[in-house]
Chain A
Amino acid sequence: MPVDPLSLASRIASSGLNVQETRMRILSENLANAQSTGNTPGEDAYRRKTISFSWELDRATGSTRAEIAKIDNDPGEFVIEYDPGNPAADNNGMVKLPNVNVLVELADMREANRSYEANLQTVKQTRELVSMTIELLRSSQ
């Protein structure tokens, strides 16, 4: 039996929700660790995490699900600051701060929010289509 396109639609939308949720998780990790330095002198600070997406084409149903391709570390340079009192300060008093830019993370969060809402709307819409079909069975007087 072929898969019902409507249940497929809500499954695809939930794959989109899933991807955006994970993206949100990564973003909040970055934000939470925006000031996390190392503990020993000269140690590396928190490295910003990045997430990338890909799509998976299901040949049997011809649908395109969204999925997470990779969660990686941003190889960008750390921010170096002079703070001799910090436990992570090296011999010259310089501390490595994480390569997290709060502004970038917040902008990304907005986009994740928007995409999440769009997927949620699809789930709602699909459910309405299903209930319209079920409504046909109701005896009309």
Chain B
Amino acid sequence: MQPIQLFELASKQSHWLTVRQTVVAGNIANANTPGYAVREVSAFEAVLDQTQPQVRMAATQPGHIQEDPMRGAVRSQSFGDVDVQPSGNSVNLPEEMSKTGEIKRMYELNTGMVKAFHRMMLLTVRR
């Protein structure tokens, strides 16, 4: 029997989405901060290829901060002069709002898929 990889993939995607939500929240919170450059997370495909074989710092004690594997994917973006306000801020509020909408839609799809798959598995087990 083949191993079922959907759950792992789904949890990775939901993690990516939550990290993206954090980044967008940071952008919105800093919409009026002078000199702040917009940040964005790399595309999911790129992150997926990257996260598996990676050397990370070990957390051997409860006080150690464990590194989030998704963290390296966050970058600040640079734009041409057109999109940057005179204060050096490059946050575009409507764009960030549409990003949060997109994140929500994708998250809904993600949890929906997990739910459906779970239901299918339960159905098999019950018979």
- Minimum C-beta distance from A67 to chain B (A): 9
A-B contact count, CB below 8 Å?
120
- Contact size range, A: 35 or more
Closest to A124 in B: B100
Q: In the assembled complex, which residues on chain A have CB atoms less than 8 Å from the CB atom of B107? A: 129, 132
- Minimum C-beta distance from B108 to chain A (A): 6
Q: In the assembled complex, which residues on chain A have CB atoms less than 8 Å from the CB atom of B65? A: 2, 60
Are the CB atoms of B22 and A9 closer together than 8 Å? yes
Q: Does A34 contact B (CB under 8 A)?
A: no
- Minimum C-beta distance from B84 to chain A (A): 16
With most chain B CB atoms within 10 A of its CB, the pick from A8, A15, A119 is: A8
Are the CB atoms of A132 and B108 closer together than 8 Å? yes
Stretch in A24-32, A50-58, A76-84 touching the partner: A50-58
New A-B contacts (17) at CB < 8 Å, excluding given A5-B22, A53-B33: A3-B68, A6-B21, A6-B22, A15-B29, A19-B32, A53-B32, A55-B26, A63-B26, A64-B29, A64-B36, A65-B29, A118-B97, A125-B21, A129-B17, A129-B103, A136-B115, A136-B118
